[in-house]
Amino acid sequence: MTPSKIEAALAIVNKLIRDGQLTVIVETPEGANCCPVVSANLNGNNIDLCLDDKFGNEIMPSVLAPEALFTEQIEEDVFHDTVLDATGQSLDHDALISVFKTLPENLQRLAMQWDLADTDFNEMALKFLKDQSSP
């Protein structure tokens, strides 16, 4: 990510905080020997980010609302095509989110780590969905 994109992202985050749309808490769970956790709430979507230099920053998908992935049309279009190939159905935005929620947790984690357009995610999602739709 270029410095100008980082600056633009930080400006957006600062505006969201000022407008009261984003709240952020940084804490290390009491008595735990682990990394600090940033807990954020953006318009009702909870996101936890573990800040650990040893393992890298990791979004914890169990608390990240899947809807947060469906914000980039290009990425959603890639997943749409995967679902279409697997099921023969062209689904709208809300239906795609519902399908995503049926995927195994390891696939959801992969998408949340990389994005909906990730090749590995889509190949595994295609296989899973085909397996689910075959009698």
Give the total number of structural domains in the chain: 2
pLDDT tens by residue, 99-123? 999 998 788 878 877 889 999 999 9
DSSP 87-100: HS----HHHHHHHH
- Regarding whether 72 and 59 lie in a shared domain, the answer is no
Q: What is the pTM of this model?
A: 0.56
Q: Where does a domain end: 32, 49, 64? A: 64
Are residues 74 and 47 part of one domain? no
Tally Cβ neighbours within 10 Å of residue 110: 19
Residues 45-64 as b/e (b if ≥16 CB within 10 A, e otherwise) read eebbbeeeeeeeeeeebeeb
Question: Across all residues in the chain, what is the average pLDDT?
Answer: 74
Residues 60 and 112 grouped into a single domain:
no
Structural domain of residue 59, as residue ranges? 3-64
**Together in a domain, 57 and 89:** no
Q: Residues 72, 128: one domain?
A: yes
